[in-house]
């Protein structure tokens, strides 16, 4: 349904712009250390060894977009008219390791369970706003 009040926009700064630029192309990127291959979210220096200036050894790389529900809640109340309750906000444990906060869509809130495999889906929630949300997936990821 259409709402008259727009959702809050992402706070995009220099650190996270490449992530949102990729989302516009419907690609899900995480930061990865080019020295030791460790994955990061949000952007960070690699904590396992010395880093190049301004984390030059870190690159945004295409990630699997797969994970499992680690924790979740069900908003029974929308705090602004920009949202419609109920909706699920969850921490997704990504296949690569990091946790990622997003919505679980594509099923009833009652059907969301911890440990449930999910995959990223790029939703056009409003004009000029694409969000990386997650939906139930039949593919069980390797590590999470």
Partner 1 sequence: MQKSLNKKFAIVGMGLLAGRFPQHSQRSLQAEAARLAIEDSGLNPSQVNGAVDLMLAPGSGSPPMETDHFPRILGLPCKMFFSIGRGGAGGVLGTVAATKFLEMGMADYVVLSYGAKDWSRSRGPEKTGIRSIEKIGHWGKPFGDLAAVSHHTFFASRHMHEYGTKSEHFGAIAVAQREWAQLNPEAHFHGRPLTLDDYMNSPMVVEPYRLLDMCMINDGAMAFVLTTAERARDLAKPPVYVLGAGQGEAMESLWWEKANYTRLAVKTAKEVAFREADITIDDVDFAGLYDCFTGEVLFQVEDYGWCKKGEGGPFIASEGIGPNGKININTSGGLLSAYYFGELTHIAEAITQLRGEAGARQVPNARVGIASGHGGEIVSPGMCSTHATLVLGRD
Residues that bind partner 1 (CB under 8 A): 7-11, 13, 41-42, 44, 47, 70-80, 83, 87, 89, 91, 93, 97-103, 109, 114, 125, 129, 131, 133
> Rounded CA gap, 113 and 116, in Å?
5
- Parallel, antiparallel or unpaired: strands 99-103 and 87-94: antiparallel
Q: Least distance to partner 1 from the beta carbon of 54, Å? A: 18
- Cα(93)–Cα(96) distance, rounded to whole angstroms? 8
Residue 60 or 100 having the CB closest to partner 1? 100
Kindly tell me which of 61 and 126 has the beta carbon lying closer to partner 1: 126
Q: Closest approach of Cβ 79 to partner 1, in Å? A: 4
Site of tokens 């000029």:
128
State the number of CA atoms in the 13 A half-sphere of 117 facing the CB: 11
In angstroms, the CA 57 to CA 35 distance is 7
Closer residue to partner 1, CB minimum distance, 104 or 137: 104
Residue identified by tokens 């809130």 is 109
Nearest distance from C-beta of residue 71 to partner 1, angstroms: 4
**Residue 11 or 138: which CB sits closer to partner 1?**
11
């Amino acid at each position: 349904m259409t709402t008259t009040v727009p959702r809050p926009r992402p706070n995009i700064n220099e650190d996270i712009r490449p992530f949102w630029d990729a989302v516009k192309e419907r690609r899900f990127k995480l930061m990865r250390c080019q020295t030791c291959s460790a994955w990061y979210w949000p952007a960070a220096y690699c904590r396992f060894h010395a880093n190049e200036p301004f984390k030059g050894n870190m690159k945004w790389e295409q990630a699997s977009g797969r994970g499992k529900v680690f924790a979740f809640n069900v908003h029974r109340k929308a705090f602004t008219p920009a949202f419609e309750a109920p909706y699920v906000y969850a921490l997704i444990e990504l296949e690569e390791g990091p946790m990622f906060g997003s919505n679980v869509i594509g099923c009833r809130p009652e059907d969301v369970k911890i440990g449930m495999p999910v995959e990223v889906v790029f939703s056009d929630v409003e004009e000029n706003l694409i969000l990386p949300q997650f939906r139930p997936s039949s593919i069980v990821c390797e590590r999470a």
